[in-house]
Structure formats: structure tokens, C-alpha cells
Amino acid sequence: MRRLLCEASCTVPLYSYKDIEKATNGFSEDQILGTGAYGTVYAGKFSNHRLVAVKKIKNRDHDSIEQVINEIRLLSSVSHPNLVRLLGCCVEQGEQILVYEYMPHGTLAQHLQRERGPVLPWTVRLAIATETAKAIAYLHSAVHPPIYHRDIKSSNILLDFNYNSKVADFGLSRMGMAETSHISTAPQGTPGYVDPQYHQNFHLSDKSDVYSFGVVLVEIITALKAVDFSRAQNEVNLAALAIDKIGRGGVEEIIDPYLEPHRDAWTLASIRKVAELAFRCLAFHRDMRPSMIEVADELEQIKLSGWAQSDDGMFLSTASSFCSSPSSCNEKSRAASKSKRLVLVNSMREEPEVESPVSVQDPWVMMMASRFHRLVLPRLLAVALLTCTGSVEASRANVLLASAAVPAAQRKPQTRAEDQFLTAHNQARAAVGVGQLRWSPKLGSEASRMVAQQKEKGCGFADLASSPYGANQLWTSYPVRPAEAVRSWVEEGKYYSYANNSCAAGHECGTYTQVVWRNTAEVGCAQANCVGGGAALTLCLYNPPGNIQGQKPY
């Protein structure tokens, strides 16, 4: 097996079975993230506190070995921010184990089926669809030879801490070389997602992935399962149902009501455009289907159309926030409509998507970006974000040194960024009854130096192992506001149990507990935009440091 692994890729790290067993608490049932025909996936945490997903293969026959080797070979040869990263493997004691980056928000399917988390609003679903399309387009067009995934489905689209899309499960994927390499009489894909022409000639191609992605688009619009025998007989297959409804102009009959399609003109218009795109992806004849590059570009254009021009010529965002029910969405929509939307003329960026902890930015993203990304966005407007309460805050496009100071004896925040860092931290601390933080020029200067240094290295996380301070870091694929960065750390608090002073399996609550640590008195933060302004690193330093083992934060 080791020889086969080296033939596949000698660069993939090998983990010991002992380390894997320890990381998963002996493959505890409490750590299980999911189970399928292939085996079981566990949440794991290594001694360096790194969270991972551990896939333990159930079968040990020739086919399972081939799929493991195939996945290692393919994932070690690609690099894209919307493809799940393979971190290593283990082949000891007769086991076949793959280790991946951890995706705390599970699968797209779980969210669409209301099995996990809040209801995803339309803007988030559209962003997930766009990112997924870009990842598949990368496999088809930027990799040589091209890679055909062959099992695109909503349960193979994972969501990171901030709901960024990651395409996973490459066990059935194949490199497309000679025409004969596409022929297979073995079962391929998942019912409901498989190219209908495959059953005629056993021929899979890039357009087979397009068909499967079309089904995913319909799932995103409807929140219905690809195959559901509880529906009427002629509606069991979602693709067939969608083709019928969309073809007759009746897409509104199957739109997920939680999307509130009539909340504004753009929402309904953009859903219809995505439905029309899905309709073309689901064409029976593969030659009638668009390529994934065309699909990705079209989704990008639909997403960008969310920047509607107002009467005074300014660009406004139609970004929505997470809602738990249609009624709560209605309330948020009404509140938002009463608020004046402000803009800051500077440089436009895409509507805010929640942050990604991934520290790798692939240059292909810029190469494959639409003309709007390459030519228009860098020179337009930076749009303020409209929150549920209607407050508006602007983000800046340079290195931001921020400080926080609340007591009257301290100086007032000098910039909007400083005020955002201050308010976000102290709101979280006030919620648990601990004292407010003050700004430390020393920590601010040190944070600024660190992010500037990391910017020169590509904007990866700073090594803080020897730092005397507490720290929180955040890597995002686009510039974010200070308040957004702090909020992403604070949100981990929902997984923290004060009674047990512990964190739910598969989550890292240390970012939250550091923000609210009772003995921490001062903070200094900085941000740096990297990769041509397309990514950002946020760093906050705390003194005294928190997260002392055996102690509670407050």
C-alpha cells in the first residue's frame, strides 16, 4: 500500500495510526460527522490544536484501495480555494484513512434539508453556487489533463466556518485523456444526479458534471431532495420536476419559500436567471449544455447584478442576513427597507461573504475571474454593509491599524476601524459581564508589524507560538470590516459550554474565550489586504493572554 501511495504522490504526509486514534478519541461515536457506503468521517483534533476531518474507509478490497489512491493522486495535484484540501493519510494496521481540512458547517445538503444551522439566504446560496462552479471549471479547464469529478452533489459540497464552498469526495473522479478513458460500465455517480446519456452509452465527460451541477442549482433554488419517493410519482426525480416547471415558466411554484422571492425585484429576477441556467445544464443532449466556465461566468454575472444602481447613481448591495423562518426574514426585510443605504466611494468589492479560515490563495482564481473582477471591481465602489438593524459600516482597502479604548481616561478611537474593533470586542464582553478592554499602542504596533510581515509572505497565518500575548487570527478571501472579523470569533461561543468549560466536538472555541477572557485588559489589532487586494489577514493581540488551561474565561 505504501508503494502505491508513493506512486500516487510522495508529497502527501503520512500520519501514524496512534496520532489519528488520539485525535478522534479512539474513533469515538461522539466524533462522527457522517457515515456512508465508503466508511465513516470523524472530527479530529491533533495535539497542535489543528481541527481535521478523518475519513476511515470501511471496505479494504481492491476497489476501495483504488478509490483511495485515486483521491490522493488527484487532490495532491490540484490547488484551488474551493476544493477541499487533503492534509495527509494513514495506512497502518490494515486501515485506509484520509485526513482533510475540517469543514465546521457540514454539507450544503444538510443546510438545504434544514438538518443543520440557520436557513441559508439567497445571497449566500448564490455565492456557494458560484464558488462551486468555479472549482469545477478549474478541474475541467485549468488542470491538464482535465479532471471530471463524476459525483457532483449537494452532499459533496462542504461549507467552511463562514459558509465558503469546498468541493469534496474525489474517489470517483477521473482524468480525461483519451476518449476511451470516459467509458465505464461500472456504476457511476449518485441517483438523481447522473447524466441521463450515461445510461445509453456509458460515456462520462465534462458535460456529465455540468448536468449534476444543474441538479445542485435546482436544489439550491427549491431546497428539495434530488430523489424523494415521498413526492408524487411524477415528481420523484427533481431534475424531471424542474425541467417541467421551468420549461412551462412555473419556476415560482417550486422556489423555497424561505428565500422570500418577492422581497425585492432583484431576488426574484436572479432566482429566475439561475433557474434558466439550471434548465440548460439539465439538457438531455450534452452538446446543448454549457461548459462549466460558461456556467461559472454566468453565475458571477448574476451575483454582480445584485449591485443595483439607485436613483442618485450610487451602487447598493442587496445582501441579506441569515433568517430562522420566513416570518423572521420578513421582519428583517422591513427593518432594512427603512434604513438609508450609504456608500463610500473608493473601490468596489463583492457583497460580503462570511470569512474563510483557509490560508491558501490560488492564483487561478484571478485567471478565471470574470471581466468584472479583472477590470471593473478594482476601480469602482466599496459598498457599506447593511446589517439586520440597518446600521452601515464601511471597509477600507489598505492596511488598517486599529485600537480600542472605552474608559473616559483613555483616548477616543481615532478611526472607524478602531471603533469597530472596540465595539465588537466590548459588546461580547458586556454580554457575559466582564470588564471592557482598552487600546494598547504597543499591541497595535506589534499586530501591524506582524500582518505587514505576513503580507510579504503571501498573507498566511503568523507563527505566534513564542508570542507572550494572546491572539486571534482570521484569513479571508476578500477584505472584511473589523467588526466582521471579531464577530466570526465571537460566533464560536455558541459551541462553548460554560458548565463543562468545553467546546463541542469539531469546533474551536478558543477564539471566543480569548475575546471574553476576564483578565485580559488591553487589545491591539491590525489588518492587511493581500493578493492584489483580493484577500485579507486580521490579527488581534491580547494582554494578559487568555485561554489558560483549567480556568474558565469568566
Which letter does DSSP use for residue 123 in this model?
A: H
3-state DSSP call for residue 374? helix
Q: Dump strand ranges (E) for 422-469.
A: 438-439
CA-nearest of 543, 432, 542, 544 to 496 is 432
Chain centroid, CA 25 distance in Å: 27
Looking at the DSSP bridge assignments, the partners of residue 438 are 522
What single string gives the DSSP state of each residue in 88-104? EEE-GGG--EEEEE--T
**HEC readout, 182-245:** HECCCCCCCCCCCCCCHHHHCECCHHHHHHHHHHHHHHHHHCCCCECCCCCHHHCEHHHHHHHH
Radius of gyration for the chain, computed over Cα atoms and rounded to the nearest angstrom = 24
Contact 235, 227 (CB under 8 A): no
**C-alpha–C-alpha distance, residues 309 and 314, integer Å:** 6
The 10 Å Cβ neighbour count of residue 73 is 18
Residue type, 308: A
- Would strands 343-344 and 308-309 be described as parallel, antiparallel, or unpaired? unpaired
Contact 57, 64 (CB under 8 A): yes
Residue 49 backbone zone (phi > 0: left; psi -120 to 50: alpha; other: beta): left
**C-alpha–C-alpha distance, residues 261 and 270, integer Å:** 9
Contact 257, 330 (CB under 8 A): no
**C-alpha–C-alpha distance, residues 349 and 178, integer Å:** 41
Contact 8, 75 (CB under 8 A): no
CA-nearest of 157, 175, 174 to 166 is 157
**Helices 265-281/122-141 angle, 10° precision:** 30
To the query of whether residue 297 is one of the catalytic residues in this protein, the response is no
The 10 Å Cβ neighbour count of residue 542 is 25
**C-alpha–C-alpha distance, residues 132 and 505, integer Å:** 27
> In the block, which residue shows the cell 456512508?
36
CB-based contacts of 457, cutoff 8 Å, min separation 6: none
Q: Which of 19, 61, 63, 151 is catalytic?
A: 151
* Residues 13, 17, 22: CA angle, nearest 5 degrees: 105
457 is annotated as contributing to ligand binding: no
Known binding site: residues?
A: 56
Catalogue the active-site residues: 151
Known binding site for ATP: residues?
A: 56
